[in-house]
Chains A and B, each alone.
Chain A
């Protein structure tokens, strides 16, 4: 009985991870994309340099804690996570991680109340193959991933026992709106990364890939493991360039839509005067406002910390 139940649970887990199919698609997709990678790589190095500069300038403005370039910090973090991982493995085996809880619940009931010894650690793994991306800022993505042991075994079965030694991981970052992509090398100790992206206000997808180190053993140049969710990054500037000659107004009570011509002088003048106010603020409050192009943001959270 317990075994069957376990199998069922595993099945449900596999069902919930609908991405493997997508990964297959991604691998066929990337065959084409990889061809363009060389060009992108050249672009990428420029992008990287620019970003590192931008970041170091930004970073000093931002929180004191963020004082390193993302790649560096990410790798540092990766190693610290890794050490954490090794130290917590033993712990989590005892504690109630997902898997272990399953096991412990099957043990004969002890007389002690569960509630009396409530202690939890976050599970190390969910046995899922996932890649998720989030936007930290308009130009920094956070990506985290996990490869299930089942998926890892399947890869070993297909490409050989030393698949992970013969290949190195990287992230393929795809800007779907501007139609470019670039690669970011990662390492096998990391399970998350911060990525600089050149363009805000665009749709991105990230694919976890592995690059072949030895073509004599594995035929393919690169193998897609899993692709992420699609993500639209925030906009970070006033979109004057997208403002046409007309704008639409809606009456929210009766639903009527009216077109307003804003191409005449009076309108342009008024819009200019309204947006000049923001430039004026920027000038007056330059010591207090920071951030992006307009610098209109006041960080409220400094004060919302009064209790927390």
Chain B
């Protein structure tokens, strides 16, 4: 039995904003979900299953956000995902024909055909179109700890000036978790790791034990945590905070020499959506004819500013093993260095965006599989652990107030509050105040239509608050879409608010309400009184 001197805790944050357009199938943004299912969620589940079958004891934590849970549970989106897969299988079949004179491309075309066919088989026949239950299974057997998140990923350091709005974000996040996983969450991923001490009392109110913060959320805490990020701290309100480890984060995240940049790995930016003849690829790209990614990519990163070579899965596997070994050795050394300095065995917390694994870093889920196997079989000085297990083992921790912080660029609120998106905050704040006003005014409402309208107000407000829209505007990618989403949800909220306040409930209003309930159908069980 090896001598365990420390622990490593992997946390993957799985999140996508709520995108659901029953009115129209042409929204490219809806594809984010399908790509994430095929490239991240199914590969992760497949690797978890392999580890289980090989009797490898592993631990991993995932936050699966409420909007993602709602989308994974949505009938229409499930149907459209199957359609997406069928289109990809059809395209891969055509690719087998088109590339028959190029051996390397042809092998890859076969690879994609098999991969998408397998996804379809897994999704329909094995998972019964229910990915949530698959994740739940791994939680129930004790390998995976699932934590919750703010209802719609609203960014607390900006919303908290009306505290009831962050209370609602937490409450609905916890309720959604309970609905799908049949128990209360012990931890929460604060949206964008955005921490404000004002949220602690609400986290406690809804039974949250721990949060994840960016490194300086711990390092700049008051008083200074004597063990740095290598031990959790507890706030005066009783919320436990784990901080991101810098070294292990850099090894994966770094855009300069992080693992995903290995030359043998699949090149993200070369896709047949851009490379294939236009007329041929047209049925599989955007409905307006714009070339977009299809997910079929034939090249590896190869090098910087050079001609791209074909992707070779065997070579990629070599790099996976090499890098898993490097990560493993780095943690062994890190823990050897740290363990004499801390009272309890140190914890190295490694949080990442789940979608980095598979979507961006195509080989990421396989890297996790190889790494976890290595940790289990190679006798080493550390074990994998979840934050909850660590708390149970080592419940004594320093009392400190974490620092207000986020994991966005430069560590505070610049990503979600800058010259490009600052216009939105006033509207979000006013709508938040008005929602509280509605909840108090109509607290004892008995009219069913009004209750439905009030609940829809809560949904529209929550959807408007999603940090994704602000992020996208800053990032300059799908700006029009993000701006429209803010306008639509605020506009819909205002319209409902006015009708309720003026008591102008007529047939038109009911039609309007029905339409919104169908489009913005997130959180079907929401209760607006949460804002009172």
Q: For residue A88, give the distance in angstroms from its CB to the closest CB of chain B.
A: 12
On whether the beta carbons of A242 and B214 are closer than 8 Å, the reply is no
Per the bound structure, the CA–CA distance linking A227 and B238 in Å amounts to: 33
Q: For residue A278, give the distance in angstroms from its CB to the closest CB of chain B.
A: 7
User: With a CB–CB cut-off of 8 A, which chain A residues contact B492?
Assistant: 118, 120
User: With a CB–CB cut-off of 8 A, which chain A residues contact B253?
Assistant: 298, 300, 302-303
Instruction: Give residues of chain B (315-338) contacting chain A, Cβ–Cβ below 8 Å.
Output: 337-338
Per the bound structure, the CA–CA distance linking A296 and B492 in Å amounts to: 41
What residue in chain A is nearest B436 (Cβ atoms)? Answer: A16
User: With a CB–CB cut-off of 8 A, which chain A residues contact B420?
Assistant: 65
User: With a CB–CB cut-off of 8 A, which chain B residues contact A65?
Assistant: 418-420
Per the bound structure, the CA–CA distance linking A270 and B411 in Å amounts to: 27
User: With a CB–CB cut-off of 8 A, which chain B residues contact A262?
Assistant: 226
Taking the complex as formed, is A46 at the interface, i.e. its CB lies under 8 A from any CB of chain B? Answer: no
**Bitwise interface map of B from 392 to 433 toward A, beta carbon under 8 Å scored 1, else 0:** 100111110001110111111111011110111111011001
User: With a CB–CB cut-off of 8 A, which chain B residues contact A175?
Assistant: none
Q: For residue B220, give the distance in angstroms from its CB to the closest CB of chain A.
A: 5
Residue from A63, A109, A126, A238 within 8 A of B224 (CB atoms):
A238
Q: Size class of A's contact patch?
A: 35 or more
User: With a CB–CB cut-off of 8 A, which chain A residues contact B230?
Assistant: 274
On whether the beta carbons of A258 and B396 are closer than 8 Å, the reply is yes
On whether the beta carbons of B226 and A237 are closer than 8 Å, the reply is no
On whether the beta carbons of B427 and A122 are closer than 8 Å, the reply is yes
**Bitwise interface map of A from 213 to 253 toward B, beta carbon under 8 Å scored 1, else 0:** 00000000000000001011111111110111001111111
Instruction: Give residues of chain B (436-484) contacting chain A, Cβ–Cβ below 8 Å.
Output: 437, 441, 468, 471-472, 474-475, 477-478
On whether the beta carbons of B226 and A251 are closer than 8 Å, the reply is no
Residue from A106, A144, A285 within 8 A of B422 (CB atoms):
A144
Number of interface residues, chain B, beta carbon within 8 A: 108
Taking the complex as formed, is A9 at the interface, i.e. its CB lies under 8 A from any CB of chain B? Answer: yes
Given A105-B502, A274-B341, A297-B410, verify A253-B395 contact (CB < 8 Å).
yes
Q: For residue A100, give the distance in angstroms from its CB to the closest CB of chain B.
A: 10
User: With a CB–CB cut-off of 8 A, which chain B residues contact A229?
Assistant: 161
Taking the complex as formed, is A87 at the interface, i.e. its CB lies under 8 A from any CB of chain B? Answer: no
What residue in chain B is nearest A252 (Cβ atoms)? Answer: B395
Taking the complex as formed, is A128 at the interface, i.e. its CB lies under 8 A from any CB of chain B? Answer: yes
Residue from A9, A136, A273, A294 within 8 A of B219 (CB atoms):
A294
Instruction: Give residues of chain B (235-283) contacting chain A, Cβ–Cβ below 8 Å.
Output: 238, 240, 246-247, 249-250, 253-256
Taking the complex as formed, is B494 at the interface, i.e. its CB lies under 8 A from any CB of chain A? Answer: yes
Taking the complex as formed, is A179 at the interface, i.e. its CB lies under 8 A from any CB of chain B? Answer: no
User: With a CB–CB cut-off of 8 A, which chain B residues contact A102?
Assistant: 498, 502
Given A238-B220, A300-B253, verify A134-B412 contact (CB < 8 Å).
no
Residue from A247, A287, A291 within 8 A of B256 (CB atoms):
A287
Taking the complex as formed, is A42 at the interface, i.e. its CB lies under 8 A from any CB of chain B? Answer: no
User: With a CB–CB cut-off of 8 A, which chain B residues contact A304?
Assistant: 353, 355-356, 471
Q: For residue A119, give the distance in angstroms from its CB to the closest CB of chain B.
A: 8
Q: For residue A206, give the distance in angstroms from its CB to the closest CB of chain B.
A: 13
User: Can you pick out 26 interface pairs between chain A and chain B where the beta carbons lie within 8 Å of each other?
Assistant: A6-B502, A16-B434, A96-B491, A101-B494, A105-B504, A114-B509, A114-B511, A122-B486, A122-B487, A126-B430, A132-B161, A132-B425, A235-B222, A243-B223, A253-B395, A271-B226, A274-B228, A275-B228, A277-B338, A285-B246, A291-B410, A302-B255, A303-B255, A304-B356, A306-B353, A306-B360
B residues within 8 Å of A by Cβ? 16-17, 32, 35-36, 157-158, 161, 192, 209, 214-216, 219-224, 226-228, 230, 234, 238, 240, 246-247, 249-250, 253-256, 337-338, 340-342, 352-353, 355-356, 359-360, 391-392, 395-399, 403-405, 407-415, 417-420, 422-427, 429-430, 433-434, 437, 441, 468, 471-472, 474-475, 477-478, 486-488, 490-492, 494-495, 498-499, 501-504, 506-509, 511-512, 515
